[in-house]
Amino acid sequence: MCNNTGNVDDLVWGVVFELEASQKPNLDSAEGLGYGYFEKAVTVETCSGSKITAVAYYADDAYKDAGLKPYCWYLRFVIEGAKQHGFPEEHVASLEAVGCIEDPDVPRGSKERAIQC
C-alpha cells in the first residue's frame, strides 16, 4: 500500500521484485487492482542509494478503514518476509505488534496457513 505523508524523511521497508510482463495480470488480480486498489509508478531509493522506478498498489480512500485488521495468515506472511529480507528488528517488532483476525473463510485460511514461509 502506498500512503504519501508529504514528509521526505518518512520511509517504507519493502522488497522490489522484477517479473515478466505476462505475470502482471496475475499480480494485479492478487493485489485487487480495480477493486478498491489502484497502481502508480513510484521512485524507490534502495538501501545502496540507487533509484529505480517500481509499481505500487494503493487503496482508494473510500476503502480505507483504520479499524480493519489483517487476517492472521496474511500477517504471518508479512512478518516472515520482513525477517527473511533482513528488515530492522524495530520494524519486525512493529509488525508483530499489529493485531490480526481469523479469516472467516475457513478453507482459504487453512490453505494459506499450509504454505511454508
What's the CA gap between 65 and 16, in Å, rounded? 26
Confidence at 5, pLDDT banded by 50, 70, 90: confident
The answer to whether residues 57 and 77 belong to one domain is no
The answer to whether residues 98 and 60 belong to one domain is no
The answer to whether residues 1 and 55 belong to one domain is yes
Q: What is residue 10's predicted lDDT score, i.e. its pLDDT? A: 79
Kindly report the pTM of this predicted structure: 0.80
Give yes or no for a contact between 31 and 1, defined as CB atoms under 8 angstroms apart: no
pLDDT digits (tens, 9 = 90+) for 99-113: 999 999 999 999 999
The answer to whether residues 22 and 55 belong to one domain is yes
The answer to whether residues 73 and 58 belong to one domain is no
Q: What is residue 1's predicted lDDT score, i.e. its pLDDT? A: 41
What total number of domains does the chain contain?
2
| Residue for grid cell 518518512 | 10
The answer to whether residues 9 and 53 belong to one domain is yes
What the block records as the C-alpha cell of 83 is: 525477517
Domain containing 58 equals 1-64
